A and B are shown apart, each in its own frame.
Chain A
């Protein structure tokens, strides 16, 4: 018959008196919540406990558990007095815990009950942790060892969380009763948090009002025309804007957070937003001093020119005998001239825009005051616009190559006397006519000998396109990182690890023969990787759509690749 007693560490040095708490008889355990000191009048104590029990949440029945004695000098009669108290407070079981000054262990006895062994668990717990663990923490996608609702530990934390009214009185009050409990030495709080709590409501109202104006602007009819809608779903700046609006909407509701997860998510959003804006301000400060904008604008047009010149040289090289390969002269010239003309068009377009570039950069840089993520998305969009010609070349090259490959594979089947059966989705044998075979073989030969030229152009432009996609991908990844990283949760984990609990851990305190077994129970904080996984803000994360094998296969066949995919629906 094992009896477990949860004893708060703060009462280790409390003066002698009565133990107040709750019996969890289904698990044979007792939770000690406070010690009421001698001298007291038993009638007052009974009245107080009844009052507190009525006020406590969800009807937690508190009662006097027993007596605690830590004899100091001049209190010799204490022992017998405390023993006689068991007659005044009628209980099934009466706990008597004694401690000598200088010895670590407690001796405890339980009267009116056969006991064979007693375990005493000495714990050090804090209110916020108790709340989270009693709420059935952890969040759904994380497993912990304390999820069983009928476990003695969960019950213990629930008792502490629900017995708030007991902690209003402590030994520094001037009432008839003086008690010691875990809030006697003061709760952990901070001025900043209290001020923030007061400033919450007007801030929420302000954000809500700003949001309503913004949503009204966005819902103007002209913006829902088809081309604009399509454009806005492709431009990452618009995507980022909509994402930000969504989360501001979440923040602007005046109701307090419903549970621990909601609170952490809101806090993470606020902190990410503040860090984002701070980084953006830093960027603006760097950008707008010492004429950096003019310098950037002045290097942009020559850089574009340089890229165009390099592409020119590349195409001239391809039109000759690249790497010693012999190209088909006619096709080579056609493709080469076609692409050269494109580059010429693009360069004229850039030169047309060059007087406006500085202005665009200046106003674009202002967008960084909304946050670094906006500046990065704007950069990604600008890169996409400026390298549009590379994208066009890639599409032309890929389409040509794809057509050629399909033609080749179909004619190769004809060459062998087979055919693709669309109905059965398989290759069947087929008897062709003489002229079909003749023309088919001819076309096959033509396509085959033209293959190296097309393949080379396709290779070159695919590599260029992949380079651009890689750069854009890096930008998107960093935007996603800033958006979704739970900075608040991580800093909470580093500075106050007991607030994010994964479970509990035990340590054997001391064993003196004859006394009960003492264990120290501490909060086991979440691992840092678990913190990131649990509290990550879900975003429109862009991640690779295909695996590497599928990507390589697509490249080989000539299908157009869109390697990054935006998740359109957020999953919670």
Chain B
């Protein structure tokens, strides 16, 4: 288990955890820093001050209760649908690759891609506004046409690690995939 200081493309620090379960199977987990309590407090205070200002002018208590309701619902939706806690990649030689992302509320979404549909795992460049970013992706092929790339599945989309982290994951994946 290694834990060096990696950062994502915006400079926030993330952590990578490589577990090699056997020579044919390894798992990579990229964890993003959790929701910071300072940010939560700032947003809540802003919303409530605004609601209080509106209440001051309209004298309607429904404004206050709706502000509380909106804050709560917004926070719940954020941690359930938006805030990713960690993303993992499980490579099982001769079976396939499993990509899963787990959200702050505990929800997990998983996709499994079989080995027969995988052409290769590569690091690709993308131009995003004023930046050029690197991302790891899986190239898929149709079993009927092994030479054509049918689609591209990008990995680690929410955590967006930098090149040093990607190179590490790439090397271990290639070891396993090239064996079978």
Q: Which A residues fall within an 8 A CB radius of B? A: 2, 4, 117, 119, 121, 145-146, 148, 150-153, 503-506, 508, 511, 517, 519, 524, 527
Minimum CB–CB distance from A4 to chain B (whole Å) comes to 7
Q: Which of B83-97 contact A (CB under 8 A)?
A: 90, 92-96
Chosen A-B contacts, 13 in total, with CB atoms closer than 8 Å, are A2-B93, A2-B94, A4-B95, A117-B22, A119-B24, A119-B94, A145-B112, A150-B116, A151-B114, A152-B95, A503-B112, A505-B112, A524-B110
Q: Which residues of B contact A4 (CB under 8 A)?
A: 94-95
State in angstroms the CA–CA spacing of A226 and B143 once bound together: 56
Least CB separation from B143: chain A residue: A148
Inter-chain contact A519/B92, CB cutoff 8 Å: yes
Inter-chain contact A2/B112, CB cutoff 8 Å: no
Given contacts A2-B94, A506-B98, A508-B90, contact A117 B24 (CB under 8 A): yes
Q: Which residues of A contact B90 (CB under 8 A)?
A: 506, 508
Q: Which of B24, B92, B93 lies in contact with A506, CB distance below 8 A?
A: B92
B166 at the interface (CB under 8 A from A): no
Q: Which residues of A contact B116 (CB under 8 A)?
A: 148, 150-151
Q: Which residues of A contact B92 (CB under 8 A)?
A: 119, 506, 519
| Contact size range, B | 20 to 34
B109 at the interface (CB under 8 A from A): yes
Q: Which residues of B contact A151 (CB under 8 A)?
A: 114, 116
Q: Which residues of A contact B162 (CB under 8 A)?
A: none
B44 at the interface (CB under 8 A from A): no
What 1/0 flags go to B105-123 for Cβ under 8 Å of A?
0000111111011000000
Interface majority SS on A: helix, strand, loop or mixed?
strand
Inter-chain contact B117/A145, CB cutoff 8 Å: yes
Inter-chain contact B98/A505, CB cutoff 8 Å: yes
Q: Which of B21-41 contact A (CB under 8 A)?
A: 21-25, 27
Q: Which residues of A contact B25 (CB under 8 A)?
A: 119, 508, 517, 519
Minimum CB–CB distance from B106 to chain A (whole Å) comes to 15
State in angstroms the CA–CA spacing of A394 and B24 once bound together: 73
Minimum CB–CB distance from A160 to chain B (whole Å) comes to 18
B180 at the interface (CB under 8 A from A): yes
Minimum CB–CB distance from A1 to chain B (whole Å) comes to 10
What 1/0 flags go to B11-28 for Cβ under 8 Å of A?
000000000011111010
State in angstroms the CA–CA spacing of A508 and B111 once bound together: 15
State in angstroms the CA–CA spacing of A119 and B25 once bound together: 10
Given contacts A2-B94, A505-B100, contact A148 B21 (CB under 8 A): no
Q: Which residues of A contact B23 (CB under 8 A)?
A: 117
Q: Which residues of A contact B112 (CB under 8 A)?
A: 145, 503-506, 524
10 tightest A-B contacts by CB? A505-B110, A2-B94, A517-B22, A511-B21, A503-B112, A145-B113, A508-B21, A151-B114, A148-B143, A145-B112
Q: Which residues of A contact B94 (CB under 8 A)?
A: 2, 4, 119
State in angstroms the CA–CA spacing of A119 and B98 once bound together: 16
Given contacts A4-B94, A119-B92, A506-B92, contact A146 B24 (CB under 8 A): no
Q: Which residues of A contact B113 (CB under 8 A)?
A: 145
Inter-chain contact A153/B110, CB cutoff 8 Å: no
Minimum CB–CB distance from A104 to chain B (whole Å) comes to 14
State in angstroms the CA–CA spacing of A180 and B39 once bound together: 56
Minimum CB–CB distance from B17 to chain A (whole Å) comes to 13
Minimum CB–CB distance from B132 to chain A (whole Å) comes to 30
Q: Which of B27, B109, B111, B180 lies in contact with A145, CB distance below 8 A?
A: B111
Q: Which residues of A contact B117 (CB under 8 A)?
A: 145, 148
Q: Which residues of B contact A508 (CB under 8 A)?
A: 21, 25, 27, 90
Least CB separation from B24: chain A residue: A117
Inter-chain contact B111/A503, CB cutoff 8 Å: yes
Minimum CB–CB distance from B119 to chain A (whole Å) comes to 14
Q: Which residues of B contact A148 (CB under 8 A)?
A: 114, 116-117, 143
